[in-house]
Structure formats: structure tokens, C-alpha cells
């Protein structure tokens, strides 16, 4: 007589393999709308088009605002180029007037 006692099947309990996507290192790459060079998000400043605001082109410092974003190098050269050309209009696919553009806050301040 054969008695099969004991646990049927393997009940290990442990060993659950969790697979998750590690997204460290090279993040998404954006293109500066002024110089057309690719750079990581951390290296670029994001602007969004907010038709309900004035000016409509808003600097998205925390890169969390909804809407279509345009990325520009945070240096005077690229910002100036972006603000003086149709780069934003092209990027946002809409008509941008000068009054829609944010004021360049590149005024040199000297501490006396
Ligand atoms: Zn640039």
C-alpha cells in the first residue's frame, strides 16, 4: 500500500521575481529649438504654450505643465535666438506673436 502524504507540488513561497524597468542614466533626449542640438532634459529649459495665459509662452521651470513643450538651452544665446525667431511658433504649431513670448530675464544684475 502506497500512501502519498505530504505536500503536493512545490510550495516554495519565496522567489517572486519582480521585474521593473530601471530608467537611470540617459533620459529622454530633447532637441533645442534654437540651435537644433540634442540634449538631455536636465540640460534644457522647457517652455509650454498656454493660450489662456499672457504671455502665452510660459517657462516651465519644473517641467510639469501640461501641453506641448518646447526645449531651449538655458543660455542667453539660445534663448535669444528662440525668442527672436519663429522657433516657438514652429514648435507649438501655432501663431506666436511677440507679445506671446516671455520676457528674457537676462538682465545683468550687479551687486553693489
Ligand atoms: Zn540650444
Please provide the average confidence, as pLDDT, over all residues in the chain: 80
Distance (Å) from CA 105 to ligand 1 centroid:
17
Residue 58's pLDDT is 92
Q: In whole angstroms, how far apart are CA 20 and each of 15, 17, 25, 26, 38?
A: 15, 10, 15, 17, 28
Distance (Å) from CA 87 to ligand 1 centroid:
11
Q: Which fold has domain 29-95?
A: Hypothetical Cytosolic Protein; Chain: A; (3.30.1230)
Span 59-85, pLDDT tens digits: 998 888 988 899 999 999 999 999 888
**pTM, rounded to two decimals:** 0.67
Distance (Å) from CA 78 to ligand 1 centroid:
5
Task: Select the highest-mean-pLDDT range: 30-39, 55-64, 89-98.
Answer: 30-39
Domain boundaries, the chain: 29-95
Confidence of residue 9 (pLDDT cuts 50, 70, 90): low
Residue 3's pLDDT is 67
Distance (Å) from CA 4 to ligand 1 centroid:
74
- Spatial separation of the C-alpha atoms in residues 18 and 107, rounded to whole Å: 52
Amino acid at each position: 500500500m502506497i500512501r502519498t502524504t505530504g505536500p503536493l507540488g512545490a510550495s516554495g513561497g519565496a522567489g517572486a521575481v519582480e521585474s521593473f524597468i530601471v530608467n537611470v542614466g540617459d533620459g529622454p533626449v530633447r532637441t533645442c529649438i534654437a540651435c537644433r542640438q540634442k540634449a538631455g532634459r536636465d540640460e534644457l529649459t522647457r517652455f509650454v504654450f498656454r493660450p489662456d495665459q499672457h504671455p502665452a509662452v510660459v517657462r516651465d521651470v519644473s517641467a510639469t505643465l501640461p501641453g506641448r513643450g518646447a526645449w531651449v538651452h538655458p543660455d542667453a544665446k539660445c534663448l535669444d535666438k528662440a525668442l527672436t525667431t519663429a522657433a516657438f511658433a514652429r514648435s507649438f504649431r501655432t501663431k506666436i506673436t511677440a507679445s506671446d513670448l516671455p520676457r528674457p530675464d537676462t538682465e545683468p544684475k550687479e551687486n553693489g
